[in-house]
Structure 1
Amino acid sequence: MPFWKALTATLLLALLAGCSTVRLVESDVRSYTQWPASRQPGTFTFERLPSQQANAEAQAKIERLALPALEKAGFRLAEQGRGEVTIQVGLGQTYYDRAPWDDPYPWHPWGGLYYGRGLRPGWGMGLSWSMPSPYYVFDAAVLIRDAKTQQVLYESHARHDGRWADDPIRAALFEAAMKDFPLPAVNPRRVRIEIPRDAGNAAAPASGASAPAP
């Protein structure tokens, strides 16, 4: 393919991506099920680990982010008393100053022929700088137990990494974790969730939230 055609195709794809109304959140998911085939989701109560109880405000936010995914799977939050199952949710977030794909040697010498003012050829030497970019790794976990027997019925983990950190992305991880509930699924698998492009704002660099459920 001629160079100019390849360049045109690349620019067109970039333009189409920029005009897209959705963002694609890809997560690596592992799920393990002992959910009885005849059992319906029913009501649930959130259950917190001692570490999550110690940071109640942050954990409450994580539970709010997980709630739409749980409701989509058929669960209903018990309004009073204990639900038919208990659900632990966790979300870990790690921030890195530099993404793995960033150049580890940002300063590069360059030299060669260039065209200056008046299109006069010349020769130059110098240094170029590639800017590092922030990078986030998220780990979401969902653990479902029978409220009476305390038997673990379902366990799922979703992992996502990328340049952005906002609440719609965090919520999408829980949707990915519950995507195949209650069926057994291939582990690991790649799950793609679409979210509106204008939903949420990228977060400032931050350290992790509460630890995922075991």
Structure 2
Amino acid sequence: MPIWKTLLAATAVAVMAGCSTVRLVESDVRSYTEWPESRQPGSFTFERLPSQQANPDAQAKIEKLALPALQQAGFKLAGQGSGDVTIQVGLGQTYYDRAPWDDPYPWGYGSSLFYGRGMRSGVGIGLGWSMPSPYYVFDAAVLIRDAKTQKVLYETHAKHDGRWADDPIRAALFEAAMKDFPRPAISPRRVRIEIQPNADKAAAAASAEPAASAPAR
């Protein structure tokens, strides 16, 4: 069997094994708060930037991935225009053909894709001495505003890099970003989130569900 087929088979086995065990996702989180101490989370509606409105399907998926973390923080999704706050979520995902710790080679191929901030991608092809080793960098962001005054009450970002890209990992970034809400926290800090074995099925089911409400504009 060619070596590249052997490597692909080994990778598939590793992925299947990983789905049956608890996975640990580590993220670098930065949070900034103006949230009043006496204020409760309350209800919210999603807010979208013009670039996010241009890709509604991609943005709706990001909002579904972020929703469990927002609910865990105490927020409840409300109907259009009736929330106490508006919440804007974004998720950047960049793919590299080679991880920083791998041996370099002269040329390679790769692409980048950003969800929630407009879609863009590109690809180039070249030659190398070894098989590419996929490597991803994720950047999740949450911005919370008072619905009446439009004042920014909370801003948080979570960044993660690694070899795997799936919806449970993307959802874990939002969980990490909201982990310390609404308390002030050291920034940056390392946050660890455990992904349970059944998270893949739950994420797939959430992606299949229709949007709960139209986003605020």
Shared topology, TM-score over 0.5?
A: yes
Structure 2 counterparts to residues 92-103 of structure 1, below 5 A: 92-103=92-103
CA RMSD of aligned residues (A): 2.0
Structure 2 counterparts to residues 31-42 of structure 1, below 5 A: 31-42=31-42
1:69 partnered with 2:69? yes
Q: Which has the higher strand share?
A: 1
Q: Which residue of 2 aligns with 1:86?
A: 86
CA distance in structure 2 between the aligned counterparts of 1:196 and 1:55, rounded to whole angstroms: 30
Measure how far apart 1:130 and its partner are.
5.0
Deviations 1:1-39 (A, max 9, x none): xxxxxxxxxxxxxxxx97982000000000000000000
CA distance in structure 1 between the aligned counterparts of 2:199 and 2:19, rounded to whole angstroms: 15
TM-score using structure 1 length:
0.72
Secondary structure, counterpart of 1:200 in structure 2: helix
Measure how far apart 1:81 and its partner are.
3.4
Residues 97 and 105 (structure 1), Cα distance of their counterparts in 2 relative to 1, 3 Å cut: closer
Structure 2 counterparts to residues 98-117 of structure 1, below 5 A: 98-105=98-105
Measure how far apart 1:190 and its partner are.
0.3
Q: 2:45, 2:80 within 8 Å by CA — same for their partners in 1?
A: no
Q: Which residue of 2 aligns with 1:160?
A: 160
Q: 1:102, 1:132 within 8 Å by CA — same for their partners in 2?
A: no
Q: 2:97, 2:133 within 8 Å by CA — same for their partners in 1?
A: yes
Q: 1:42, 1:84 within 8 Å by CA — same for their partners in 2?
A: yes
Residues 48 and 144 (structure 1), Cα distance of their counterparts in 2 relative to 1, 3 Å cut: same
1:185 partnered with 2:181? no
Secondary structure, counterpart of 2:176 in structure 1: helix
Residues 33 and 98 (structure 1), Cα distance of their counterparts in 2 relative to 1, 3 Å cut: same
Q: Which residue of 2 aligns with 1:132?
A: 132
Residues 19 and 199 (structure 1), Cα distance of their counterparts in 2 relative to 1, 3 Å cut: closer
Secondary structure, counterpart of 2:40 in structure 1: coil
Q: Which residue of 1 aligns with 2:51?
A: 51
Unaligned stretches of 5+ residues in structure 2: 1-16, 107-128, 202-217
Q: Which residue of 2 aligns with 1:174?
A: 174
Q: Which residue of 2 aligns with 1:60?
A: 60
Q: 1:144, 1:155 within 8 Å by CA — same for their partners in 2?
A: yes
Structure 2 counterparts to residues 4-43 of structure 1, below 5 A: 21-43=21-43
Secondary structure, counterpart of 2:164 in structure 1: coil
Q: Which has the larger radius of gyration?
A: 1
Count of aligned pairs: 163
Q: 1:24, 1:195 within 8 Å by CA — same for their partners in 2?
A: yes
TM-score using structure 2 length:
0.71
Deviations 1:21-78 (A, max 9, x none): 2000000000000000000000000000000000000000000000000000000000
Q: 1:140, 1:173 within 8 Å by CA — same for their partners in 2?
A: yes
Q: Which residue of 1 aligns with 2:146?
A: 146
Residues 198 and 72 (structure 1), Cα distance of their counterparts in 2 relative to 1, 3 Å cut: closer
Report % sequence identity: 86
